[in-house]
């Protein structure tokens, strides 16, 4: 009996797999994939359950990647349905993870089920790389699975990531790359003292504001053909001072940079550290800076598979998808180290929101798109 995308999506949503909890969702996928003949390997890294499943042993290996973990539901009273019920209302499937991204996983498995029926023998392999650690810090998920696959020299020839790439309408956008993301944690140290005797102290507050003003006004670039301009945003400024008549000893700030492929995290660190060093030296302060790099900017140069996918999406949705690098980051940043990849999934308008939902008709179309992709890839 073929696997139905809507039925499977409901079952996946009913597993409350809030990062890093699995809640039985990986075993549910294993059960469905084993019924299609897949060899399934569960990879546990610390408290995270991941899955690498493969059908076939030969090349080329077409991989579908995704995540089963979801974000918390927020205010439960604001939901119109129970967030883990997988309820259908007005031709919409509502539930946490419907859009991001249990719906697209269900569509791909349903497409696989149909593909196996129409083409039981094909030259090559199909694999799924599914993680339970994408929505949080993503260190025990796809990153570790990719390292393991690399170590055992398992080749992936092309990867399709099922993230909800469309803003408002199915077919609008495919992602062919992502900007890099780096967060900086800055502390400026002065000398504490009485506000009435500023000459006996050194206030770090005006120094950190000077620094933030400088880095906020750096024009990093004007963008490229495939990327929008890089941008730096200050997200936190803090001085832990409980008194109004004390010059503080230190001030802290946090900033995030989303950068295109004209930069690397190292080149940006050098540029910023120079500003910190020069400003603090002029103002007789010291500083400490640490960085967390979530990923470097990358671009998958469009190839025949990219254009084939674009053509299929246009044929089924009547919309030609834009090849884009906008938005946040995704697990494609890890997969691109071993394989070219593109991202395409459902509409992400309600992802992470109250009453997260997807259109039932969009799910049918997405299953058809994924089926067509497999049929064309394994011609």
- Over the stretch 246-259, which tens digit does the pLDDT of each residue have? 999 999 999 999 99
Q: Distance between CA atoms of 109 and 251, rounded to whole angstroms?
A: 51
Shared domain for 224 and 320, answered yes or no, is no
Percent of the chain with pLDDT over 90: 97
Shared domain for 200 and 242, answered yes or no, is yes
Instruction: Please report which confidence band the pLDDT of residue 61 belongs to, taking 50, 70 and 90 as the band edges.
Output: very high
Q: Distance between CA atoms of 189 and 291, rounded to whole angstroms?
A: 18
Shared domain for 342 and 285, answered yes or no, is no
Shared domain for 172 and 65, answered yes or no, is yes
Last residue of a domain, one of 279, 295, 311: 295
Q: Which residue in the list 5, 69, 343, 362 is annotated as catalytic?
A: 69
Indicate the average pLDDT of the chain: 97
The pLDDT value recorded for residue 328 is 84
What CATH number is given to the structural domain containing 230? 3.30.70.360
Q: How far is CA 231 from CA 30, 78, 137, 309, in A?
A: 41, 34, 22, 30
User: DSSP labels for 123-186?
Assistant: SSEEEEEEES-SSS--SSSHHHHHHHHHHTT---SEEEE----BSSSTTSEEESEE-EEEEEEE
Last residue of a domain, one of 264, 295, 326: 295
Shared domain for 278 and 362, answered yes or no, is no
Last residue of a domain, one of 295, 325, 348: 295
What CATH number is given to the structural domain containing 59? 3.40.630.10
Instruction: Please report which confidence band the pLDDT of residue 325 belongs to, taking 50, 70 and 90 as the band edges.
Output: very high
Say how many domains are in the chain. 2
Shared domain for 25 and 169, answered yes or no, is yes
Percent of the chain with pLDDT over 70: 100
Instruction: Please report which confidence band the pLDDT of residue 327 belongs to, taking 50, 70 and 90 as the band edges.
Output: confident
Is residue 73 a contact partner of residue 137, using CB atoms and an 8 Å limit?
no
The pLDDT value recorded for residue 329 is 86
Place of tokens 């180290």: 337
Shared domain for 320 and 212, answered yes or no, is no
Shared domain for 48 and 172, answered yes or no, is yes
pLDDT of 91 higher than 90: yes
Is residue 133 a contact partner of residue 26, using CB atoms and an 8 Å limit?
no
Shared domain for 47 and 87, answered yes or no, is yes
Q: Distance between CA atoms of 100 and 320, rounded to whole angstroms?
A: 22
pLDDT of 1 higher than 90: no
Shared domain for 258 and 111, answered yes or no, is no
Is residue 129 a contact partner of residue 335, using CB atoms and an 8 Å limit?
yes
Contacts of 70 (CB under 8 A, 6+ apart): 17, 18, 19, 96, 97, 100, 102, 135
Instruction: Please report which confidence band the pLDDT of residue 340 belongs to, taking 50, 70 and 90 as the band edges.
Output: very high
Is residue 351 a contact partner of residue 100, using CB atoms and an 8 Å limit?
yes
Q: Which helix (H) or strand (E) holds 20?
A: none
Average pLDDT over residues 13-36: 97
Show the domain range for 269: 180-295
Q: Which residue in the list 5, 11, 133, 134 is annotated as catalytic?
A: 134
Average pLDDT over residues 270-281: 98
Shared domain for 289 and 306, answered yes or no, is no
Place of tokens 């549910």: 28
Instruction: Please report which confidence band the pLDDT of residue 101 belongs to, taking 50, 70 and 90 as the band edges.
Output: very high
Q: Is 134 a catalytic residue?
A: yes
Q: Is 106 helix (H, G, I), strand (E, B) or coil?
A: helix
pLDDT of 137 higher than 90: no
pLDDT digits (tens, 9 = 90+) for 201-240: 999 999 999 999 999 999 999 999 999 999 999 999 999 9
Shared domain for 117 and 19, answered yes or no, is yes
């Amino acid at each position: 009996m073929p696997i139905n995308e809507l039925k499977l999506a409901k079952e996946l949503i009913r597993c409350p797999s809030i990062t890093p909890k699995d809640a039985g969702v990986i075993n549910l996928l294993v059960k469905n994939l084993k019924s299609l003949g897949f060899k399934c390997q569960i990879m546990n890294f610390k408290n995270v359950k991941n899955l690498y499943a493969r059908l076939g042993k030969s090349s080329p290996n077409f991989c579908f990647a995704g995540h089963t973990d979801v974000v918390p539901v927020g205010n439960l009273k604001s939901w119109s349905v129970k967030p883990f019920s997988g309820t259908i209302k007005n031709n919409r499937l509502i539930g946490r993870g419907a859009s991001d991204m249990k719906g697209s996983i269900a569509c791909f498995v349903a497409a696989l089920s149909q593909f196996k029926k129409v083409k039981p023998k094909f030259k090559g392999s199909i694999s799924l790389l599914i993680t339970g650690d994408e929505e949080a810090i993503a260190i025990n998920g796809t990153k570790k699975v990719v390292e393991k696959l690399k170590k055992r020299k398992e080749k992936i020839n092309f990867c399709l990531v099922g993230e909800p790439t469309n803003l408002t309408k199915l077919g609008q956008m495919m992602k062919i790359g992502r900007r890099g993301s780096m967060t900086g944690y800055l502390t400026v140290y002065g000398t504490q003292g009485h506000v009435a005797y500023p000459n006996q102290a050194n206030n770090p507050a005006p120094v950190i504001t000077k620094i933030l003003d400088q880095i906020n006004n750096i024009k990093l670039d004007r963008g490229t053909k495939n990327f929008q301009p890089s941008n730096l945003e200050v997200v936190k400024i803090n001085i832990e001072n409980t008194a109004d008549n004390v010059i503080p000893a230190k001030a802290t700030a946090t900033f995030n940079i989303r950068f295109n492929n004209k930069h690397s995290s190292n080149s940006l660190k050098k540029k910023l550290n120079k500003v910190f060093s020069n400003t603090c030296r002029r103002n007789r302060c010291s500083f400490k800076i640490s960085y967390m790099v979530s990923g470097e900017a990358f671009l998958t140069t469009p190839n025949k598979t990219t254009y084939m996918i674009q053509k299929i999406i246009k044929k089924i949705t009547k919309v030609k998808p834009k090849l884009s690098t906008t938005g946040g980051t995704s697990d494609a940043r890890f997969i691109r180290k071993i394989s070219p990849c593109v991202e395409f999934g459902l509409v992400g308008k309600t992802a992470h929101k109250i009453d997260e939902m997807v259109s039932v008709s969009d799910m049918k179309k997405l299953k058809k798109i994924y089926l067509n992709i497999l049929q064309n890839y394994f011609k």
